[in-house]
Structure 1
């Protein structure tokens, strides 16, 4: 990481940071993408079961692992201020937080899964697939969280290409194990949708091992000596990670869980509707990787500049990230509207599922714009370490506005399941507006403090 002055140079720097993050995020997401896709090719019941399972897994994992993302702005600001020893100490304490979170989720999920799934009135085959899929995924929690800590550290140093190279291994490995465990090829057990959970857990262990080896052996990571003389848990350091990370995690949970709640509410509809909804949600989430990656890049760049007290440069990066995200969004929105039928047919051979998914994808296209605005702004605010108000805004936008609007439209109009999607669009739009206002406030506050 180094200081830049001209706008063109900043855009180039942003691109070199964001592009590897995008490839990394897509590679990680492709694991979920192929879980759903390949399970759908096995059977509609397995598609629905994996859809329900992933709708529970993703918000729990992303919400709690979001706590660990605080390591990125903390380390970025320490590196910007040339305080490398403190950056190393933060990452080491992050390992303890990761282990604790893995234990909490493993225990919580294994104890609550049966009553949670039984309360959803699922078909027996769908229930069976969802339950065993989630149990299999739980065995990949520890390596997944350790890898998350290492990735935050690597990215905070601006070495996002390294994260990209590690994670690029994940998708092909996961596809191979999906092929073996879902369909039972080459003598492996034929597990259907459950096999995708087994494949993902194995993949998490492999990419975690690769990240550990690289950060131990390669420069500049080896200079931080992350695995030599691990200190005892330091309450002060762990509290800093959790204090900053908890609002980030809760904000991520507030956003991701509303999509999962909507998926659970879909359980009252037919298996075809559940599958079609998940197809649309799965592809829309894939497109979301673009603004999400730009958001993560904004956290690194803004955090680095804010740590060095270059607040005007931080503001410029915030603006560049938002403009870039909106530009890409207009392209993806157009593609989604034109090719929605073809996209749906990739996921399923069921004509009814494909038809319904095409309708859902139309609604999915229209919350891409709100995502393109709110995601990079959230990332910039995290770079400034402004996270608590962001969480409150997310909670209000998604849960007090988005979900109630969706429930009303779904149950009191003829829109049916599509009403939930309109509610999601309303919540995302409100989030984009309120976060924009908050970012302006924080930037003015930083600039005024610098003048004084």
Structure 2
């Protein structure tokens, strides 16, 4: 990254950072899609087992990744302030912390996995697939969280194209491993859905190894000497990392689990309604990659400018990012209005499902408009290292306002299944307003303290 002097230069640098992150996020989503799709081609039971396993793992993974991504604003601010000599120490402490977090996750999973699956009362083979899918995937937890730290370091330096290339390499590796292990090719046994977990673990080790080599050998990363010296564990630094990362992780966890909760609560509706809801929600999740990528980009850029004490530039980046997200959401809204039938037809050939999915997609328009404000604003606040209020706002807007509102409208009014979407939209809208208000307060506070 480099200092910019005009709005045009800032837009250019913003998109240089953003586009690779967006491609990376889409690629990572594609890995989960291929796990599910290829398992389904094995058998319905394999599909169900992988779906259950993924539904348990993804929220945990998202939340824990959020905790470890606290290194991103720390590094970007250090680089912006010209304190390059302190970067290696911070990254190594984050890597050691990631190892401890991984071990804790594995121990907790070892104790809780069997009781949780037993409580779901699944069919025996589905239970078997879900259990061993997660057990197999567990072999890749340590490198996955290690990669999260290295990717955050790479991105914090503005080198998002490198992490994009690493992730792009991972997709064909994952698909090839799925093909071999799920279907039993090249002399391997046929593992079915369990093979998807093995393939994911294999892919995590590959991307961690590639990222490690890049950080150690390629410039500008090698110049920071991350792996040239061994550091003792610093509990003080871990405390700082957790102070920033834990609120980010919990905010991410609350965001991902709210959708799983809504899906579970909607199980009382008929199969057509549930299928239509899932189709519309899947497409809305795909669109969410845009504001999420902008969020990650703004954390890097705002952190860099704040570290350099260029507060005006940090504010300009926040305006550019949030405005871009809103403009993109308006474009996607127009797209959905014009092509909602074609989008719905991607998910089913049944007329009833297509018709109902179109109705849910209309609600998705308002859903992603709120996301376009709330998510990038969180990214800006993280760049300022202001994370605790955002975590509280997310908790209140989603779980105290959004979910109860949706439950009431879905069960006690004529809105039915649409009520849950209205509840989510309400929670997101409240969150967007409160987060914007918090951003104004933080930016004023930063100016006064400078």
TM-score normalized by the length of structure 1: 0.92
Q: Which residue of 2 aligns with 1:283?
A: 283
Q: Does 1:59 align with 2:75?
A: no
Cα offset, 1:322, TM superposition: 0.5
Matched-pair contact (CA < 8 Å) for 1:44–1:272: no
Q: Report the CA distance shift for 1:41/1:329 in structure 2 as closer, same or farther (over 3 A).
A: farther
Q: Which residue of 2 aligns with 1:292?
A: 292
Matched-pair contact (CA < 8 Å) for 1:51–1:278: no
Q: Which residue of 2 aligns with 1:432?
A: 432
Q: Secondary structure at the match of 1:420?
A: helix
* Cα distance between partner residues in 1 of 2:422 and 2:125: 30
Cα offset, 1:117, TM superposition: 3.1
Q: Deviations over 1:154-175 (max 9, x none)?
A: 1111111111111111222222
Q: Deviations over 1:299-320 (max 9, x none)?
A: 0110011111111110000000
Q: Which residue of 2 aligns with 1:442?
A: 442
* Cα distance between partner residues in 2 of 1:374 and 1:401: 15
Cα offset, 1:269, TM superposition: 5.5
Q: Which residue of 1 aligns with 2:116?
A: 116
Q: Which residue of 2 aligns with 1:25?
A: 25
Q: Secondary structure at the match of 2:428?
A: helix
Q: Secondary structure at the match of 2:158?
A: coil
Q: Report the CA distance shift for 1:41/1:428 in structure 2 as closer, same or farther (over 3 A).
A: farther
Q: Which residue of 1 aligns with 2:321?
A: 321
Q: Deviations over 1:373-402 (max 9, x none)?
A: 111110000000000111100010011011
**1:16-165 correspondence to structure 2 within 5 Å:** 16-124=16-124, 126-165=126-165
**1:333-412 correspondence to structure 2 within 5 Å:** 333-346=333-346, 357-412=357-412
* Cα distance between partner residues in 2 of 1:269 and 1:111: 33
Matched-pair contact (CA < 8 Å) for 1:55–1:259: no
Q: Which residue of 2 aligns with 1:231?
A: 231
Q: Report the CA distance shift for 1:424/1:178 in structure 2 as closer, same or farther (over 3 A).
A: farther
Q: Report the CA distance shift for 1:49/1:69 in structure 2 as closer, same or farther (over 3 A).
A: same
Q: Report the CA distance shift for 1:406/1:94 in structure 2 as closer, same or farther (over 3 A).
A: same
TM-score normalized by the length of structure 2: 0.92
Out of 247-256 and 116-125, give the one that drifted further: 116-125
* Cα distance between partner residues in 2 of 1:2 and 1:371: 29
Out of 167-176 and 118-127, give the one that drifted further: 118-127
* Cα distance between partner residues in 1 of 2:203 and 2:343: 26
Number of residue pairs the alignment of both structures matches: 450
Cα offset, 1:230, TM superposition: 1.6
Out of 97-106 and 43-52, give the one that drifted further: 43-52
Q: Secondary structure at the match of 2:69?
A: helix
Matched-pair contact (CA < 8 Å) for 1:182–1:195: yes
Matched-pair contact (CA < 8 Å) for 1:41–1:349: no
Q: Does 1:419 align with 2:437?
A: no
Matched-pair contact (CA < 8 Å) for 1:398–1:424: yes
Q: Report the CA distance shift for 1:340/1:174 in structure 2 as closer, same or farther (over 3 A).
A: farther
Q: Deviations over 1:74-103 (max 9, x none)?
A: 001111111112111100000111011111
Matched-pair contact (CA < 8 Å) for 1:122–1:267: no
Q: Secondary structure at the match of 1:158?
A: coil
Q: Which residue of 1 aligns with 2:182?
A: 182
Q: Secondary structure at the match of 1:34?
A: helix
Cα offset, 1:369, TM superposition: 0.8
* Cα distance between partner residues in 2 of 1:141 and 1:61: 9
Unaligned stretches of 5+ residues in structure 2: none
* Cα distance between partner residues in 1 of 2:123 and 2:361: 25
Q: Deviations over 1:149-197 (max 9, x none)?
A: 0011111111111111111112222222233333444444444433322
Q: Secondary structure at the match of 1:219?
A: coil
Q: Which residue of 2 aligns with 1:216?
A: 216
Cα offset, 1:422, TM superposition: 2.5
Q: Report the CA distance shift for 1:139/1:202 in structure 2 as closer, same or farther (over 3 A).
A: same
* Cα distance between partner residues in 1 of 2:202 and 2:343: 29
Out of 441-450 and 330-339, give the one that drifted further: 330-339
Cα offset, 1:43, TM superposition: 4.8
